[in-house]
Structure formats: C-alpha cells, structure tokens
C-alpha cells in the first residue's frame, strides 16, 4: 500500500514527536494504569467496546484494570492514550479554582490557566465539570519543540460543559493559536460547536465531544484567507465525536440536523484525522468540505442522519477549491446515505476501506480513485458507475463474508481468511 503518510506535513509531525516525548510513550502504546485514561473503543473488544446503532453509548476502553493485562491496541478506531506524568505539570486549574498561583495547592480557574500558558507549559485541569459560560480562547503560540499542552490531571477527567448557556449563544471554545496540544478532555453541551479550530499546527488526542448543538470538532477559518495561513496542519487523533445535533433548531447557523457533523474540516489544508470514532451525529460523520490535501485514516463512522442531516459516514469534499482528500483503512456502517462520498471533491482517493449496511457503499466522481475497497450489504448498491475503480470487492467474483457482523466483536467486518477478500478492505495488512 505505502500510502499512510500520503498527506503528512513536517510541522504537524514535529509537534506530534514532541508530544510523544512529553508523554513518554510511542504511538500505539497503551497505558499501564487502569482507570487513568478515558477513551473510547476501536473495533469490538480491542481496548473497549464499539456498540451498534441501537445503543446511544459506547464503552470506555483503555488499559487493563489493576492487576490485569493491557488490552490489545485496536487497529482501527481510537486507541488507549497514556496520560502525561503529573510531574510535568507547570500550571494547575480546577473547577473551583481562583487567583493566579495556578499550583496544585492553589489551583486557578480555567481562564487564568489559558491566559498564563505559554510555549513549553503543561497545564493540568483537575477533574470535574467546568461551567463554560464565557469565551475560551487558546490564542497563544507554542512551537514545534515547545507546544502548549492542556490535559486532564492524570487519573481524572476534566469536562468542559456549556449547558448553562442558551442554545445558539456565541460562547465558544476556540483554538486560534498554534502548536497547542489538547489531550484527554471531554467537551459537551456547548451552544454551538464543541470546539472550533481556526488555528494551525495543533493536535487533539483522546478528546471527546458530544451532545453539542452544532459540529463536535470543526476546523474552520475565513474562506477569504490564503489556504495554509489558518485552519491548517491540525491533527485529530484517537478522538470521539458523537450525538452532536441541531435537529429542531432554525436559528442562524442551524439547519434542523443539517449542520452538526462529528468532525468537520470546513477549509484549510493538510489537516489529518487519525484513529477516531464518530457516530450518531445529525449530519455527517466526517466532512472535509472546502479543504484541500486532507487525510482521514483508521477511523470508524456509523449511524448518521437525523431530520435534515445529509447522513453520510465520510464526506470527502464540497465547493471549490475542495481537492485531494485521501481516505484509507476506514469503516462506515449503518449510515442513512452513503458510507463514503466524494461530494464533489476533486482528485479524491478512497483506498482500503470497508462499508456495510449503508444506503449506498461509495459515491464517486469522475476523477475519484477507488482501489481495494469492500462494500457489502448496502441497500442501494455498492457504488455508482463513476470514478477510476481498481480491484474493489464488487469487481471480484464471489460474495464477501466476514468473521463477524457484530459491532461488539474484535473481528467485526474482518473478511474470512479464505474467502478471497482478506487482502482488501479496511483490515488489509493490519
């Protein structure tokens, strides 16, 4: 295959390397202390449980409990995320914090921590619910070698909650700066988007956004700016976005279900989504809209479409200059429209993906490349007649059979070894 880093960027990867140094773990390592991380599952029982469309929740994955063995790292979907050592902390905030000391003994509030944090700082948020009743702006600038890190205190979960604010209010959480790292946080009940990212070169890892009233995570800036200057080179990794919805709302910016994706990359260039899980959002799972050179890999999207939502699992384009989204090793199932849709994007590539029981498996444009994919059980067929199609399941003889069609199984949608399809689809080579 050889295309995992098809759209890699040096700046984003530099920030990633720094993060791995801070946390003391390598990509794919699992945490060794049960209960110290809060993550969602990848496929089936690998690191937790992925539930099907009939369930509104998903299980916490992560490492094995005390005295147990760490669970295997899932090849697709979120993996366990190891916490940063407590000794690395330079700023401490708490839900009831005050003052400017920002220490473990005298924690400050969230806004003071955000104001104080500078390049190289590690800001820990003590566990509990933070009432987001005012703007939160991560507006500083870290560097590739000294990012600005915000994370739940080890063994705890910081929840950023906007439920006290009226739906449609303009209170938001935004990353407008660069080289921020947000890890192991929960964002819920915000009056609009869960988290807006107009900034560049930022990393989210192990963050969950749910029950927000527009998109869970949205990378977006002015469409008039040169691409690359804002909303570019950001990475979302091992994140979860679910049950974000705007159904029933017709105020400005809302569309009765049609403006709440799990993850939206509205514009910008070279943004990446890796090992994420999106489900039960009212519009689409992941939408790369007017962005360019985006990457989506090793990610699961299921059960999308409420009210007027478009209901695609992965949507890889939109209005000009949308181009060159690359989607690989992803699974889309149970979506009310297409599992994977080019959506007018130019020069889109779909490689080694699996769709199952969507309205249609793949929707391709004339210049879309689709290779080594599997589509099975999709109501309105595997694929339309467009695109450049190479060695996909519908081009082979026989019928795809899976080891399991149960989403809670670690073998969910993995082809049987001797069925003639094990070398294609999302699991090929994994």
Residue 344 has pLDDT above 70, yes or no: yes
pLDDT of residue 252: 85
User: Considering only 60-74, 225-239, 379-393, which range has the smallest mean pLDDT?
Assistant: 60-74
Residue 45 has pLDDT above 50, yes or no: no
Neighbours of 370 (CB within 10 A): 27
Q: Which of 1-5, 145-149, 250-254 has the highest mean pLDDT?
A: 145-149
pLDDT of residue 212: 98
Phi, psi for 20 (deg, rounded to 5):
-65, -30
Rounded mean pLDDT, 39-56: 38
Q: Which of 3.30.450, 3.30.70, 2.60.40, 2.160.20 would CATH assign to domain 1-83+158-430?
A: 2.160.20
User: Considering only 29-33, 37-41, 99-103, 116-120, which range has the smallest mean pLDDT?
Assistant: 29-33
pLDDT of residue 311: 97
pLDDT of residue 227: 87
Residue 30 has pLDDT above 50, yes or no: no
Residue 63 has pLDDT above 50, yes or no: no
User: Considering only 58-67, 68-77, 282-291, which range has the smallest mean pLDDT?
Assistant: 58-67
CA distance 147 to 315: 31
pLDDT of residue 68: 57
Q: What is the mean pLDDT of the chain?
A: 87
pLDDT of residue 49: 30
pLDDT of residue 156: 98
Residue 10 has pLDDT above 80, yes or no: no
Split at pLDDT 50, 70, 90, the class of 292 is very high
DSSP assignment string, 54-77: T-S---B--S--TTSPPPPPPSSS
Residue 16 has pLDDT above 50, yes or no: no
* Residue that the structure tokens 């991560």 belong to: 138
pLDDT digits (tens, 9 = 90+) for 139-180: 999 999 999 999 999 999 999 999 999 999 999 999 999 999
Residue 25 has pLDDT above 70, yes or no: no
pLDDT of residue 71: 66
pLDDT of residue 50: 31
pLDDT of residue 2: 33
C-alpha separations of 197 from 160, 173, 302, 305, 355 in Å: 16, 9, 24, 24, 29
Helix (H) or strand (E) holding 22: helix 10-23
The better pLDDT of the pair 140, 20 is held by 140
SS3 call for 114: helix
Split at pLDDT 50, 70, 90, the class of 43 is low
pLDDT of residue 356: 98
Rounded mean pLDDT, 126-142: 98
pLDDT digits (tens, 9 = 90+) for 368-394: 999 999 999 999 999 998 999 999 999
Residue 67 has pLDDT above 70, yes or no: no
Torsional sign, CA 306, 313, 413, 365:
positive
Split at pLDDT 50, 70, 90, the class of 233 is very high
353 CB contacts (<8 Å, ≥6 apart)? Answer: 327, 328, 329, 330, 331, 332, 340, 373, 374, 425, 426
The better pLDDT of the pair 39, 80 is held by 80
pLDDT of residue 72: 75
User: Considering only 221-225, 301-305, 399-403, which range has the smallest mean pLDDT?
Assistant: 221-225
CA distance 279 to 284: 9
C-alpha separations of 290 from 273, 345, 373 in Å: 16, 8, 24
The pTM for the full model equals: 0.87
Rounded mean pLDDT, 179-205: 98
Rounded mean pLDDT, 249-263: 92
What does the domain layout of the chain look like in residue ranges? 1-83+158-430
pLDDT of residue 176: 98
Residue 19 has pLDDT above 60, yes or no: no
Rounded mean pLDDT, 277-281: 98
Q: How far is CA 145 from the centre of its chain?
A: 24
């Amino acid at each position: 295959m050889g295309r995992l880093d098809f759209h890699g960027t040096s700046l984003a990867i530099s920030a990633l390397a720094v993060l791995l140094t801070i946390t003391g773990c390598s990509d794919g390592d699992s945490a060794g202390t049960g209960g110290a991380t809060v993550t969602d599952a990848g496929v089936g029982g690998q690191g937790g449980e992925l539930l099907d469309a009939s369930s509104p929740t998903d299980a916490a994955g992560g490492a094995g409990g005390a005295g147990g063995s760490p669970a295997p790292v899932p090849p697709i979907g979120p993996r366990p995320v190891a916490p940063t050592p407590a000794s690395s902390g330079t700023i401490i905030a708490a839900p009831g914090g005050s003052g400017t000391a920002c220490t473990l003994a005298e924690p400050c509030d969230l806004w003071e921590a955000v104001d104080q944090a500078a390049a190289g700082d590690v800001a820990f948020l003590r566990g509990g619910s933070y009432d987001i009743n005012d703007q939160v702006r991560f507006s500083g600038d870290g560097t590739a070698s000294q990012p600005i890190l915000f994370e739940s205190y080890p063994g705890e979960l910081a929840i950023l909650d906007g439920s006290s604010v009226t739906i449609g209010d303009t209170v938001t959480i935004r990353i407008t700066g660069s080289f921020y790292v947000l890890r192991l946080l929960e964002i819920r009940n915000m009056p609009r988007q869960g988290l807006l990212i107009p900034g560049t070169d930022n990393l989210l890892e192990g963050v969950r956004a749910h029950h927000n009233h527009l998109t869970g995570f949205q990378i977006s800036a002015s469409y008039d700016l040169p691409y690359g200057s804002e909303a570019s080179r950001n990475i979302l990794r091992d994140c979860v976005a679910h049950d974000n919805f705007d159904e029933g709302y017709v105020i400005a910016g809302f569309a009765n279900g049609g403006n709440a994706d799990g993850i939206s990359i509205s514009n910008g260039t070279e943004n990446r989504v890796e090992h994420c899980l999106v489900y039960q959002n009212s519009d689409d799972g992941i939408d790369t809209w007017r962005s360019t050179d985006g990457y989506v890999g090793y990610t699961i999207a299921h059960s999308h479409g409420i009210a007027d939502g478009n209901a695609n699992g992965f949507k890889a384009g939109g209005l000009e200059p949308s181009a060159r989204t690359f989607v690989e090793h992803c699974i889309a199932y149970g979506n009310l429209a297409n599992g994977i849709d080019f959506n007018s994007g130019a020069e889109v590539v779909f490689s080694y993906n699996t769709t199952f029981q969507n309205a249609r498996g793949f929707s391709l444009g004339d210049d879309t490349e689709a290779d080594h994919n599997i589509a099975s059980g999709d109501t309105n067929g595997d694929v339309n007649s467009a695109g450049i199609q190479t060695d996909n399941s519908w081009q082979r003889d026989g019928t795809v059979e899976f080891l399991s069609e149960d989403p809670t199984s670690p073998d969910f949608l993995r082809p049987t070894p001797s069925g003639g399809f094990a070398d294609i689809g999302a699991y090929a080579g994994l």
